[in-house]
C-alpha cells in the first residue's frame, strides 16, 4: 500500500471508528470536529504517519509565552459549543459554589448508591480513567460509561490517565505499569527524545488516547482532562519529586508534547485542561491549563477545608484561574470553606471504600438488606453527606444546567438495584 493511499485509508478508517462509536454509544448529534488519528488497516495507530509530527517544545513555549493569559477564556482554541458552555458555567459559579464530584471504577457504580440513598441525588461530576486505553487489548469500558453518564444522565465528565508503560523497554512481554517502583527500564528523558524506543511508545499511547477522546467528542461529551497527575511525587514514572532537577524539565516537555499533540495536531474540540503538577518545579505555561488542581488524602472523617494547600496552589496558579480539589479522601465541609474564605471549584472523592462501606478487607461494597451499598461511616457520616448535598452552595447532579443532546435518567445499574429493592419490599 503506497503512502498516499495509506493516509487516505487511515483517515477514512479513523472516521468510521468515530461514527461507529457515536452510533453504538448513544446516538447524540455532537459530531467529531477534530483531525482523525491516522490508523492502519487493522485499526492500530499508524506509526509511520504519527512520528512525522514532532513537537518543537522551545518554539511552542515561546509562542505560549507571547500570548496574554486570560483566565476568562479557555486555553484551547478549538472548543465546540457545548464544551465552551461547560467552561463558562464553571467560570460563572467559581468562588461562590462548589461542585461535588466522584471518581468511578466500574460499570456497577456502587458509589452512586451512597448519594442517592442520602438525598435522591448524585454528584455533578463523575471521574473516569484512561488507565487501560493505551494497551494493545484496550479496555475502554470507562469511556463507554462516561458517554452514558453525560448523554443519558446529563452529568459532567472528568478523565485522568494512569499511564501504563513497559516495565522494561528492552524486553518483550515485560508487562506494563505506572508506578515508578514497578518499572525497571523506562527513561523519562528518552520518552521526550525523538528517535528513542520510549518516545515511540509515548507517541503511540497519546494517539491511542486521542482516539478515545475523539469517541467522547463524537458523542458531544465535554471532558475535564487531567493528564500527568500528581507530578510533584515520585510514585508515578512521570513525576520528579526528590529526583535530579532535569526530571522536572522532562515532565514539562512531556506535558507540552501531550498538549501540542491533542490541541494543535489532532485539534480536539472537547477538552478543558486540568494541570495537577502541585509544586513550583512542575509548573507549566498557564496557557496550557484552565484549572489548577491538587490531590489531598487526609485523616479519615476529617472535613477541613485544606486552606493551606489551597493557598500553596494559588501561589503556583496564574491569577484568576480556577482551582479544584482534583482528588480527595474526604469531602471538605462547605462551612469550613466559607470560614476560610474560598471555595474549591469541585472536590473529587476517590472511589471504593473512600465512599462506600467495604466488605471486610476487600474492595467490594458491603451490601445492605436491599442489596445497596452504604456510606463508609469511618470516612463520613450519613448526616454529613445528606446535609452536604442539601446545601445550596453545592452543585449536585440535580442542580446542573441541562445540555443539548442529553437526558436526565439515573444510571441504569443503580436504577436496577433500587427497583429490585422496591419490588422485594412490595412483595414481602
Q: Which residues of 275-296 are buried (b: 16+ CB within 10 A; e: fewer)?
A: bbbbbebbbbbbbbbbbbbbbb
What separation in angstroms does the CA of 316 have from each of 73, 255, 267, 348?
Answer: 19, 16, 27, 20
What separation in angstroms does the CA of 87 have from each of 95, 101, 319, 393?
Answer: 14, 16, 17, 19
Nearest CA to 255 out of 207, 302, 289 is that of 289
Catalytic: 230? yes
DSSP lists the bridge partners of residue 94 as 97
Catalytic residue chosen out of the listed positions 319, 327, 336, 382: 327
What separation in angstroms does the CA of 232 have from each of 73, 229, 235, 281, 360?
Answer: 27, 9, 9, 8, 33
Catalytic residue chosen out of the listed positions 230, 319, 338, 382: 230
3-state secondary structure of 127: strand
Contact of 280 with 310, CB cutoff 8 Å: no
Q: What is the DSSP string of 323-361?
A: EEEEEESSPPPHHHHHHTT---SEEEE-SGGGTB-BSTT
Contact of 237 with 251, CB cutoff 8 Å: no
Catalytic: 422? no
Contact of 251 with 55, CB cutoff 8 Å: no
Q: What is the DSSP string of 246-280?
A: HHHHHHHHHHHHHHHIIIIIS--SSEEEEE---SG
- Which residues belong to the active site? 230, 327
Amino acid at each position: 500500500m503506497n503512502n498516499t493511499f495509506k493516509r487516505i485509508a487511515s483517515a477514512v478508517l479513523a472516521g468510521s471508528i468515530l461514527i461507529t462509536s457515536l452510533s453504538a454509544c448513544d446516538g447524540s448529534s455532537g459530531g467529531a470536529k477534530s483531525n482523525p488519528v491516522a490508523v492502519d488497516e487493522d485499526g492500530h495507530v499508524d506509526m509511520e504517519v504519527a512520528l512525522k509530527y514532532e513537537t518543537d517544545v522551545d518554539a511552542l513555549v515561546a509562542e505560549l509565552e507571547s500570548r496574554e493569559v486570560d483566565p476568562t477564556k479557555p486555553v484551547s482554541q478549538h472548543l465546540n459549543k457545548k464544551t465552551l458552555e461547560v467552561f463558562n458555567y464553571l467560570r460563572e459559579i467559581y468562588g461562590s459554589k462548589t461542585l461535588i464530584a466522584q471518581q468511578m471504577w466500574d460499570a456497577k457504580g456502587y458509589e452512586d448508591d451512597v448519594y442517592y440513598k442520602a438525598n435522591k441525588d448524585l454528584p455533578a461530576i463523575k471521574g473516569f480513567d484512561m488507565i487501560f486505553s493505551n494497551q494493545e487489548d484496550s479496555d475502554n469500558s470507562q469511556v463507554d460509561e462516561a458517554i452514558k453518564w453525560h448523554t443519558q444522565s446529563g452529568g459532567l465528565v472528568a478523565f485522568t490517565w494512569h499511564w501504563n508503560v513497559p516495565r522494561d523497554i528492552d524486553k518483550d512481554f515485560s508487562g506494563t505499569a505506572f508506578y515508578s517502583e514497578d518499572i525497571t527500564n523506562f527513561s523519562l528523558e528518552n520518552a521526550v527524545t525523538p528517535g528513542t524506543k520510549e518516545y515511540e511508545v509515548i507517541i503511540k499511547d497519546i494517539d491511542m488516547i486521542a482516539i478515545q477522546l475523539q469517541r467522547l467528542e463524537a458523542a458531544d461529551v465535554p471532558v475535564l482532562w487531567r493528564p500527568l497527575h500528581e507530578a510533584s511525587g515520585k510514585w508515578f514514572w512521570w513525576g520528579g519529586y526528590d529526583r535530579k532537577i532535569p526530571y522536572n524539565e522532562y515532565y514539562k516537555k512531556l506535558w507540552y508534547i501531550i498538549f501540542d499533540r491533542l490541541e494543535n495536531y489532532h485539534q480536539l474540540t472537547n477538552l478543558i485542561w486540568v494541570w495537577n503538577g502541585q509544586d513550583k518545579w512542575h509548573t507549566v505555561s498557564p496557557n496550557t491549563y484552565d484549572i489548577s488542581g491538587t490531590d489531598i488524602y487526609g485523616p479519615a472523617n476529617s472535613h477541613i477545608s485544606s486552606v493551606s494547600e489551597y493557598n500553596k496552589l494559588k501561589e503556583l496558579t496564574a491569577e484568576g484561574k480556577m482551582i479544584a480539589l482534583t482528588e480527595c479522601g474526604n469531602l471538605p465541609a462547605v462551612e469550613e470553606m466559607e470560614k476560610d474564605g474560598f471555595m474549591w471549584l469541585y472536590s473529587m472523592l476517590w472511589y471504593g471504600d473512600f465512599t462506600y462501606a467495604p466488605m471486610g478487607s476487600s474492595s467490594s461494597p458491603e451490601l445492605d438488606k436491599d442489596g445497596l451499598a452504604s456510606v463508609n461511616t469511618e470516612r463520613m457520616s450519613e448526616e454529613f453527606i445528606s446535609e452536604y448535598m442539601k446545601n445550596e452552595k453545592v452543585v449536585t447532579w440535580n442542580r446542573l444546567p441541562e445540555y443539548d443532546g442529553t437526558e436526565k435518567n439515573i444510571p441504569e445499574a443503580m436504577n436496577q438495584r433500587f427497583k429490585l429493592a422496591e419490588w422485594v419490599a412490595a412483595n414481602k
